[in-house]
Copies of this chain bind each other. A is one copy, B any other.
Amino acid sequence: MSKHQKLLPLSPVPLYSQLKELLRTRILDGSYPAHSQMPSESELGAIYKVSRITVRQALSDLHKEGLIFKIHGKGTFVAKPKAFQNVSKLQGLSEAMSQLGYEVLNQLLSFKFVKADSQVANRLQVPEGTKVAEIKRIRLINREPVSLEVTYVPQLIGEQLEKADLITRDIFLILENDCGVALGHADLAIDAVSASGELLKALNINEGSPIMRIERLTHNAEGVPIDFENLYYRGEAFQYRLRIDRHTNN
């Protein structure tokens, strides 16, 4: 019983919410491994000393997040976790995922200064052929490669990124904290493509595997484009989530 951290009944955080966080941590750290059966509602109630209603609310939230699934008449099981990023707010992968208890690391494939081709020049609003920095990184979540990221930034920013820690840090946070750039908004285009070329080795996948591709153009607070990226996510390993409203205030 000692391995079960106690909930805090006097905390302002509701008990079901504490229980949900605790169970989520256990699932993500492997204490409850993928495909294993979760303890029953009454067992969980006994272990964590909470009512069945509290257990049910916590499980219902975990179910909505896709962390557990139910098999009728058999009980509740741990899902193979499919990582997802909530993209209602502009965040780097590490920033977003570490809040959910995932560890993000990067493998730097290449960092070089190249001449902007017509697409890069158009997006960064510089003349074609202008020197820009090209950065290729594999991003790993819990040590598994989930995406290849190809980033283009203007030369001056590139020279600062060159000195920064690109293995553990998001480029967004380096821009904000080391380069003093205030980030504004990003325009995203999302589609699906088949894996080929350098993606195969980078993501350890077969030719033709489904890839979620994101073209992302990030602007500073003044609206100037400063960071043009193509992100290639392994389709079966990652998801974007967002909320859209019918009526917006724009």
Contact = CB atoms under 8 A, between A and B. Distances in A.
Nearest to A239: B191
A122 B208 contact: no
A156 interface: no
Contact of A211 (B69, B71, B192, B209): B192
A84 B189 contact: yes
A66 B187 CA distance: 13
Interface string A117-134: 010001000001000000
A244 B185 contact: yes
Interface residues of A, number: 48
Contacts of A239: 189-191
A188 B72 contact: no
Contacts of A233: 191-192
Given A189-B239, A212-B190, A233-B192, A88 B183 contact: no
A246 B89 contact: yes
